[in-house]
Amino acid sequence: MSGLSLEELCARGRAAIPILQSESGDVRDRAVRAMADSLPENAQEILAANALDLESAAQNGVPPQMRDRLALTEERLRGIADAMRQVAALPDPLGTGEEWVRPNGLRIRRCAVPLGLVAMIYEARPNVTADAAALCVKSGNCALLRGGKEAFRTNRAMVDCLRRAVQAAGLPADCVLMPEDPSRETAQKLMRLRGTVDLLIPRGGKNLIRSVVENATVPVIETGAGNCHVYVDESADLEMALAVVDNAKRQRPSVCNAAEGLVVHRAIAPKLLPLLRERMPDVEFRGCAETCALLPDCVPATEEDFYTEYNDLILHCKVVGDVGEAIAFINAHNTGHSEAILTQNLRNAERFTAGIDASAVYVNASTRFTDGGEFGFGAEIGISTQKLHARGPMGLSALTTVKYIAYGDGQVRA
Amino acid sequence: MSGLSLEELCARGRAAIPILQSESGDVRDRAVRAMADSLPENAQEILAANALDLESAAQNGVPPQMRDRLALTEERLRGIADAMRQVAALPDPLGTGEEWVRPNGLRIRRCAVPLGLVAMIYEARPNVTADAAALCVKSGNCALLRGGKEAFRTNRAMVDCLRRAVQAAGLPADCVLMPEDPSRETAQKLMRLRGTVDLLIPRGGKNLIRSVVENATVPVIETGAGNCHVYVDESADLEMALAVVDNAKRQRPSVCNAAEGLVVHRAIAPKLLPLLRERMPDVEFRGCAETCALLPDCVPATEEDFYTEYNDLILHCKVVGDVGEAIAFINAHNTGHSEAILTQNLRNAERFTAGIDASAVYVNASTRFTDGGEFGFGAEIGISTQKLHARGPMGLSALTTVKYIAYGDGQVRA
């Protein structure tokens, strides 16, 4: 792909689309399995590139947490390959759905077809490169992968392997594409290639996603912003509430379905808050005045805190008078991702699930379950926090659209 | 609604949403029937407003065709009310879909829920005001209707009736909203109310739709651009081909599913084209060099012609060597709306339906069938020419999104 402009690269992709789309599910699955095999097989080449990326990252002061995500090992490569094989094993998202015959004899069938060219803009996470390529090829789409510049050499080595594997499996190598220039300008240009890019999925931090949503003219699916809450109702089982809040906040604080906010009914707050504080000594509490009155070391929360996804061991806390106030508070601050209520009161559970505006609403369970695997959908492309096309964990069908095919024998409209 | 800014109006709508969304399908249907009744019941008030709009339109030199679309009569009002009653009679698009239990006992259900605030930007067609309000209330959404300024007084009179009817039926009047200022600035502002407007559907000409797509930051569904083709293959039945091309071009040339282009196999062109010319004497043919050689009065087509949706009695024509060339030509020029092949050759039919990138592909039938009613979907909101969320004729389900509701008994993630 050396020396190709972004437009030339996209033209290659668009030329590959009809060939890819004409192939059966078996051929696409074989290609994905070959792609999976190619990564451990070429571990030496990939790990050498990764070592160079890691060296530059250290020199450029990239934070250790980010370098950890960037780092590959033979074991991680095998894990990535296993995840790709799981994608290959999923049911084919393409094909014919319902078919019906109209009174005039026209036979209409609804078919699930690929979108075409799917672009991803993401950060320095080489596993996303492999996942996205597998999900796209599985669903008959061409993948255009623009990862973070810190992972550029790693991504290039991986994409080279993936392209050779796709080609060896009988599909065009151009089903998997990567721009030669990983700069911000490339990302900006990509967002505006309307008519060329059928879908752009940004994966990464809030600023990346906001920039894409505000600047893109191509169709976008927003993913991953999660200011998620747990509301502990008056009637909650105290032990269950402690366990669920702890899990939602601390089991993996860096991910989007972790809780950022705690909302507590006034009647249970004096019991719950001190026990929670004791149970989670490593968590910083930032609360409303009532929370602060109950917890001596609580930091007063600003209004901005209540909008913040910390992805860290910090929890904003708000005391409320009833479930209606909890719903209003959450809907005013959340990102439409995942919300939970702890309650033994059926009516409050139903008010909460009906009233909360989010992709997933839980009764007596942790927000951490919003995930393609946990929902039983298999591998996911991301978690959509928008309402159009896909909402919540997105399976392969989010990479498809519909085509109506109608057979007649000369029908004309009267 | 007098004196409210657009933001204040939207705030009213957002306050109405939870009340509307908590009502059952029966209540929503009753409201839609009451809205339908209210129009003929208040014919005098509405027709008086319409007469003023028509008078200004005539003074301002609005073309007769546009004034005809703007004009209401008692009979047209009854027709509009009937269409609204048909919307009320459709199945409820909201409710619970599948439910499944995960191995850990978490019970997940997938629910169809309203989008929230749905805005429409359209031209001077009062029937769209009524249709859109009915479709939105039926599907639990608040409707914000910004019609063309030429129809402002008519729309205001209609919306006043609809709001009174909604309120009398026990729902908030603010389920149906209309900005006080129908200017372009209002439309521009509306497009950028991200977080407030859940979906914006532009309905109207190419320029309106392009302006929305390029400027909107709110979610949009593109509708109605139709550069549709009929391809007559070598093996086509000649009589059928003549009838279908005639129907696709002339039965109602102003609509988006009418054919704008004819693509003809070289082997059948010398027979087909002169017969078609004779059959459609009122159609202007604009063709490639080969078409011109076969039709003495054919106008040479420019490359721009091949991209043009005339919505008029003009047809662009291209002679090709085989079905592959036809597919490539159509995909390079079409708008993804509706395409047809006339053929007796099964393999060519299958290549065409697989290879064409459009919402609807016909074999031996007119493109004019791409329509919610003709597909059997009932009333339609529009015909989506995009791939995300909805493609082709959009029924009520296009105004819904999904919410996952999960019940547990203290599940936490390991």
Instruction: Give the tens place of pLDDT for each residue, B77-127.
Output: 999 999 999 999 999 999 988 999 999 999 999 999 999 999 999 988 899
Q: Please list the residues that pair with B201 across neighbouring strands.
A: B120
Quote the CA–CA distance of A230 and A363 in Å, as a whole number: 10
What value does the mean pLDDT of chain A take? 94
More confident residue, A381 or B177: B177
At A293-310, the pLDDT tens digits run 999 999 999 999 999 999
How buried is B296 (Cβ within 10 angstroms: 0-12 exposed, 13-18 middle, 19+ buried)? exposed
The reported pLDDT for the residue numbered A376 is 87
Quote the CA–CA distance of B189 and B236 in Å, as a whole number: 51
Q: Which residue of A has its CA nearest to B358?
A: A403
The reported pLDDT for the residue numbered B3 is 82
Establish if B315 belongs to a structural domain: yes
The reported pLDDT for the residue numbered A123 is 87
Under DSSP, is residue B220 helix (H, G, I), strand (E, B) or coil?
Answer: strand
A218 and A232 housed in the same domain: no
What secondary structure, in 3-state letters, does A325-354 show? Answer: HHHHHHHHHCCCCEEEEECCCHHHHHHHHH
Contact A159, A126 (CB under 8 A): no
B118 and B210 housed in the same domain: yes
A99 vs B contacts (CB less than 8 Å): none
Minimal CA separation from A203 to chain B, in Å: 18
Q: Which of A214, A247, A403 has the CB atom closest to B413's CB atom?
A: A247
**Measuring CA to CA, which residue among A297, A360, A352, A365 is closest to residue A320?**
A352
Q: What is the DSSP letter of A409?
A: E
Any A CB within 8 A of B198 CB: yes
* pLDDT at residue B136 is higher than 70: yes
B406 vs A contacts (CB less than 8 Å): 360-363, 365, 369
Quote the CA–CA distance of B155 and B160 in Å, as a whole number: 8
Minimal CA separation from B151 to chain A, in Å: 30
Q: Which of A366, A374, A406 has the CB atom closest to B369's CB atom?
A: A406
At B1-19, the pLDDT tens digits run 668 999 999 999 999 999 9
For A322, phi then psi, to 5°, come to: -165, 180
Lowest mean pLDDT among A374-378, A394-398, B86-90, B338-342: A374-378
Domain extent, residue A124, equals 6-223+390-407
Minimal CA separation from A310 to chain B, in Å: 20
Q: How confident is the model at residue A373 (pLDDT cuts 50, 70, 90)?
A: confident
Output the CA torsion sign for B323, B328, B329, B335.
Answer: positive
- CA–CA distances in Å: residue B288 to residues B276, B300, B311: 16, 6, 20
The reported pLDDT for the residue numbered A209 is 83
Establish if A378 belongs to a structural domain: no
Quote the CA–CA distance of A213 and B220 in Å, as a whole number: 12
Q: Is A406 close to B251, i.e. CB distance below 8 A?
A: no
Q: Is A365 close to B411, i.e. CB distance below 8 A?
A: yes
B164 and B251 housed in the same domain: no
Q: Which residue of B has its CA nearest to A99?
A: B375
Q: ipTM score of the complex? A: 0.91
The reported pLDDT for the residue numbered A239 is 98
* pLDDT at residue A395 is higher than 90: no
Q: Is B391 close to A370, i.e. CB distance below 8 A?
A: no
The reported pLDDT for the residue numbered B2 is 67
A39 and A132 housed in the same domain: yes
A71 and A213 housed in the same domain: yes
Q: Is A22 close to B355, i.e. CB distance below 8 A?
A: yes
* pLDDT at residue A211 is higher than 90: no
Q: What is the mean pLDDT of residues B12-39?
A: 96
Q: Please list the residues that pair with B143 across neighbouring strands.
A: B118, B176
Q: Is A359 close to B21, i.e. CB distance below 8 A?
A: no
Contacting A residues, span 332-361, partner chain B, CB-CB under 8 Å: 349, 353-355, 357-361
A100 and A246 housed in the same domain: no
Under DSSP, is residue A16 helix (H, G, I), strand (E, B) or coil?
Answer: helix
Q: Which of B247, B349, B403 has the CB atom closest to A359's CB atom?
A: B403
Domain total of chain A: 2
Rounded to 10 degrees, the C-alpha dihedral B305/B309/B312/B316 comes to 40
Q: Which residue of B has its CA nearest to A412?
A: B366
Lowest mean pLDDT among A73-82, A216-225, B306-315: A216-225
Contact A302, A325 (CB under 8 A): no
What value does the mean pLDDT of chain B take? 94
Establish if A1 belongs to a structural domain: no
- Determine what percent of chain B is predicted with pLDDT higher than 70: 100
Q: Is B244 close to A375, i.e. CB distance below 8 A?
A: no
B165 and B187 housed in the same domain: yes
Q: Is A410 close to B21, i.e. CB distance below 8 A?
A: no
- Determine what percent of chain A is predicted with pLDDT higher than 70: 100
The reported pLDDT for the residue numbered B1 is 60
**Measuring CA to CA, which residue among B84, B77, B83 is closest to residue B30?**
B84
Q: How confident is the model at residue A408 (pLDDT cuts 50, 70, 90)?
A: very high
B362 vs A contacts (CB less than 8 Å): 406-408
A346 vs B contacts (CB less than 8 Å): none
A36 and A143 housed in the same domain: yes
A399 and A338 housed in the same domain: no
Q: What is the DSSP letter of A91?
A: P
Q: How confident is the model at residue A1 (pLDDT cuts 50, 70, 90)?
A: low
The reported pLDDT for the residue numbered B46 is 98
CATH of the domain at A396: 3.40.605.10
Contact B381, B135 (CB under 8 A): yes
At B208-255, the pLDDT tens digits run 888 888 888 899 998 878 999 999 999 999 999 999 999 999 999 988
Q: Which of A100, A106, A387 has the CB atom closest to B198's CB atom?
A: A387
**Measuring CA to CA, which residue among B132, B143, B140, B198 is closest to residue B13?**
B143
**Measuring CA to CA, which residue among B337, B370, B384, B369 is closest to residue B223?**
B384
Quote the CA–CA distance of B192 and B189 in Å, as a whole number: 5
Q: What is the mean pLDDT of residues A61-70?
A: 89
Any B CB within 8 A of A127 CB: no
Output the CA torsion sign for A60, A61, A66, A72.
Answer: positive
Mutation pick from B346, B386, B404 vs chain A, by most beta carbons of A within 10 Å, is B404
Q: Is B244 close to A410, i.e. CB distance below 8 A?
A: yes
B86 and B206 housed in the same domain: yes
* pLDDT at residue B73 is higher than 80: yes
Q: What is the DSSP letter of B192?
A: T
Establish if A414 belongs to a structural domain: no
Contacting A residues, span 14-43, partner chain B, CB-CB under 8 Å: 18, 21-22
How many residues make up chain B in this entry?
A: 414
Any A CB within 8 A of B378 CB: no
Quote the CA–CA distance of A129 and A234 in Å, as a whole number: 46
Q: Please list the residues that pair with A131 across neighbouring strands.
A: none
3-state helix, strand, coil in chain A (%, to 5): 45, 20, 30
A401 vs B contacts (CB less than 8 Å): 387-388, 391
Q: Is A402 close to B359, i.e. CB distance below 8 A?
A: yes
Any A CB within 8 A of B392 CB: yes
Establish if A313 belongs to a structural domain: yes
CATH of the domain at A235: 3.40.309.10
The reported pLDDT for the residue numbered A366 is 98
The reported pLDDT for the residue numbered A346 is 96
Q: Is B403 close to A361, i.e. CB distance below 8 A?
A: yes
Establish if A263 belongs to a structural domain: yes
Q: Is A406 close to B22, i.e. CB distance below 8 A?
A: no
Q: Which of A198, A199, A388 has the CB atom closest to B199's CB atom?
A: A388
At B268-305, the pLDDT tens digits run 999 999 999 999 999 999 999 999 999 999 999 999 99
Any B CB within 8 A of A99 CB: no
Q: What is the mean pLDDT of residues A140-156?
A: 96
Any A CB within 8 A of B200 CB: no
Any A CB within 8 A of B374 CB: yes
* pLDDT at residue A124 is higher than 90: no
Quote the CA–CA distance of B229 and B341 in Å, as a whole number: 9
Contacting B residues, span 226-255, partner chain A, CB-CB under 8 Å: 237, 240, 243-244, 246-248, 251
* pLDDT at residue A314 is higher than 70: yes
A79 and A186 housed in the same domain: yes
Q: Is A106 close to B376, i.e. CB distance below 8 A?
A: no
**Joined tokens for residue A390:** 């896909």
Quote the CA–CA distance of A232 and A9 in Å, as a whole number: 52
Q: Is A365 close to B198, i.e. CB distance below 8 A?
A: no
The reported pLDDT for the residue numbered A126 is 93
- Give CA angle at B371 (B370, B375), nearest 5°: 85
A243 and A275 housed in the same domain: yes
The reported pLDDT for the residue numbered A254 is 87
